[in-house]
Amino acid sequence: MKFSLLSSAVIGAAAVSALQTIEAVGNKFFNKDGSQFFVKGVAYQLIPEDPLVHTEQCARDAELMQSLGANAIRVYHVDPKADHSGCMSVFAKAGIYTLIDLDTFDTYILPNDPWWNQTQHDRYAEVMDAFVKYDNVLGFFIGNEIIAQANQSMAAPYIKTAARDMKTYRDRKGYRKIPIGYSAADIAELRPMLQDYLTCGGNSSEIIDFFALNSYEWCDPSTYGTSGYMTLQEQAKNFPVPIFFSETGCNVPGPRVFNDQSAIFGPEMVNDWSGSIIYEWIEEANHYGLVSYGPAVSATVTGSNIVGGFTVAGTPTAISPDFDNLKSQWAKVTPTGVASSNYNPSKVSTRACPTSTASGWLVQGNVRLPELGETFSGSYTTAPTAASTTTGTAASATSTKNPAPVNKEIAGMSAGLVGVMLFFTFWL
């Protein structure tokens, strides 16, 4: 490999500021120079804990990502106490932005027993504190697929509350207004209501700054009209904040040819969508990888760089033909978008807060958002309303770890609808 990225990162990582900062305006991302930014990204989580701490590995991967045409990575889990300057410098020099999830293994919002307390707030804030200094941070995710079943939308007010509080924290600290958004599972019964709910109400301080979707609807061979993307586009038309795919790249039946990219970046969707992140960089048992670091071994084999039978460090080797197919698709799509000087954000629509539905959306209109420390744990059967004096159970500021199973990226794919549908109503 060339050593320009690695050597420069090692010598002067802390001083690097190679990329323009990006802001969200209306439903677009804009570079500082006013040009529109479109995401061409890959999901990047080589190790469960934090892949942004090994500068040499980041340098190897960044170089190959450059050849792929990627300009962004999504990282699901990081250690806020670690030194990320080397990797962030390497990716900045490669023209690659980062989207960072703020939640950790033990602080994410639970779908069936949601709460948002001081411990969660402070842990999310630690991640933000660790990354705001890097110009190539494109955005923060407040959560990933928290709602993954039809009966879990009672957690939506807590997602919105977390976004509100982290935006307040960002602004109070005087940080750059790095966009804060949510990555949703693609559940037809809930998706349109969830994206509208998280952006409704008319109070910009209480809505997400962007909405992202983990969708595997387009499985080649398919088309814009037969894949389900036409429906996604109809529901995203004139959306009030940027919307993009935070995971995509169906591998059934395979190999992947990524024909959906021509629709996402083409005339059908480019006016409303801001790009896509392909799942995923590293080859794992689910066979969604674009690269491998060595042949698969028995799942019983252990080693410092072996996880689940796959090597997670070393020289990345492109997996054929998927890597080249994606490279070819991205080379063909070069959207220019609109200049910020010619863009009127008032033309995008503020959505009405959705009402509850028999198919599973449980939140009735623009409910009052829970306060810090409020839980949904059976202490009330309906959410507190704007006029109600009833409150939820206060969660301790030193609450114990979440009892839910470890969430790396929920297997990296949108969960299917399972279980019996329950119907709670969140009253106005």
Is position 56 annotated as part of the catalytic site?
no
Is position 283 annotated as part of the catalytic site?
no
Active-site annotation holder among 23, 206, 217, 247: 247
Nearest by Cα to 422 from 381, 389, 387, 379: 381
Active-site annotation holder among 23, 145, 217, 283: 145
Give the active site residues: 145, 247
